[in-house]
Amino acid sequence: MGGEDCPRPERLLKNTLSLIRDTLAPFFMDPVITEIRRELNAIADPEIQKNSKRYFKEEIHCYGTRTAAVIALAKKYWKEVKNRKKPEIFALCEELYQSGYLEESFIVSEWAHALSGRYEISDLAVFRSWIDTYITNWASCDGFCNHTMGDFFLHYPGCIDDLKHWTQSENRWMRRAAAVSLIVPAKHGKFLKESLEIADLLLTDSDDLVQKGYGWLLKEASRNHTDTVFRYVMKNKQRMPRTALRYAIERMPKDLKAEAMKKDWK
């Protein structure tokens, strides 16, 4: 399975998304979506809604609920949809994403990850489209990419090169996704070479959320490869934004941190 060649997403996207939309078309609104939104409205708290917005520079839309409650809701309704055909589940995910609400994006993240045993190589086109079209904040980006994309690339490592194309996107969330999609595998010591290659491509990115994304990736890679990541940081620290550098060295011993933070170039 992992040895399959990864087709370019553009070749798969049109037919796959058409199938999803054709599946969705007969529904005015699926009863599951109606019930999810009813429950989200019922537990919405204006104070949580107000406080949640402080964590984002960009405008977000949210009901105002605790994350644990949303995850519980996602698991509750997953039991109702898990036996449906995958294109139908994808169609439900699209409908949730289209609302623009943060909590509904979290439900997509839970459901998409729950499908990991059913991933096919063609799903990359769908996932890429969702990131490019619907992701508008770091929480939705990380929630989806850390687990769904991380698991996908463990299934299909031949597709990792696609992330290099994402680093060149005009969409900041695609560029952040290129890094944070490998966070969980990197935490467990996997994909070091690929992680460093992605960091290279994002090295001088001017967007602070992209910088934090690849810095975080380097930090997780350093758990099992401290010396290699330290050498990478030392080699690139003159060009690397300080935001990315601080993230990258966060887990390193104090002496290595101090060395990395020195501005010792002429």
Q: What is the full per-residue pLDDT of the chain (266 aa) written as tens digits?
A: 555 667 665 555 655 665 555 555 444 679 999 999 999 999 999 999 999 989 998 999 999 999 999 999 999 999 999 999 999 999 999 999 999 999 999 999 999 999 999 999 999 999 999 999 999 999 999 999 999 999 999 999 999 999 999 999 999 999 999 999 999 999 999 999 999 999 999 999 999 999 999 999 999 999 999 999 999 999 999 999 999 999 999 999 999 999 999 987 66
**pTM metric for this prediction:** 0.88
Q: Is residue 142 part of a domain?
A: no
Specify whether 115 is located in the same domain as 13. yes
104: Cα separation from own chain's centroid: 15
265: domain CATH number? 1.25.10.90
Whether residue 176 is contained in a domain is answered as yes
15 lies in the same domain as 67:
yes
Choose one of 69, 103, 136: the last residue of a domain.
Answer: 136
Same domain, 171 and 130: no
Question: Does 21 share its domain with 129?
Answer: yes
150 domain-assigned: no
Q: Are 150 and 185 in contact (CB under 8 A)?
A: yes
Q: CA 109: distance to chain centroid?
A: 9
Q: Does residue 52 fall inside a structural domain?
A: yes
- Domain extent at residue 72: 9-136
Q: Are residues 83 and 127 in the same domain?
A: yes
Count structural domains, the chain. Answer: 2
HSE-CB at 78 with a 13 A cutoff on CA atoms is 16
CA distances to 116, 121, 181 from 156, rounded to whole Å, are 11, 7, 13
Cα–Cα distances in Å, from 112 out to 58, 75, 87, 124, 206? Answer: 25, 12, 11, 12, 31
Are residues 186 and 198 in contact, defined by beta-carbon separation less than 8 angstroms? no
